[in-house]
A = this chain, B = another copy of it.
Amino acid sequence: MARVVVDVMPKPEILDPQGKAVLGALPRLGFDGVTDVRQGKRFELEIEGELTAERLAEVEKMAETLLSNPVIEDFAVRVVETDGAARS
């Protein structure tokens, strides 16, 4: 049993209207000092069995083909937990 996190963020050169909307709303709510906001997605996947290198490669493939659009988004795969032991 392992938990893998896939972070999907818009590429830096891509406009991010959701992030811009948040950035615009902050001063109206009384928050200052934030110069940029980017909004992306976070997926938490529970993987059964042992997390082998092969299985991790499969998760990378999932991230590339299903969870992100590689034309406009970057993704990062991180293992956060294996067999109950937390790893950063």
- A interface, CB within 8 angstroms of B: 7-9, 19, 22, 25-26, 29, 31, 33-49, 55, 58, 61-62, 65-67, 88
Q: Are A47 and B25 in contact (CB under 8 A)?
A: no
Residue of B nearest to A8 (CB): B42
Contact A44 B38, CB 8 Å, known A25-B66, A66-B26: yes
Q: Are A33 and B49 in contact (CB under 8 A)?
A: yes
A2 → chain B, closest Cβ, in Å? 10
A8 → chain B, closest Cβ, in Å? 8
List 6 other contacts, CB 8 Å, given A36-B44, A37-B46, A38-B43. A8-B42, A19-B43, A33-B48, A33-B49, A33-B58, A36-B46
Q: Which chain B positions have C-beta within 8 A of A34?
A: 45-48, 62
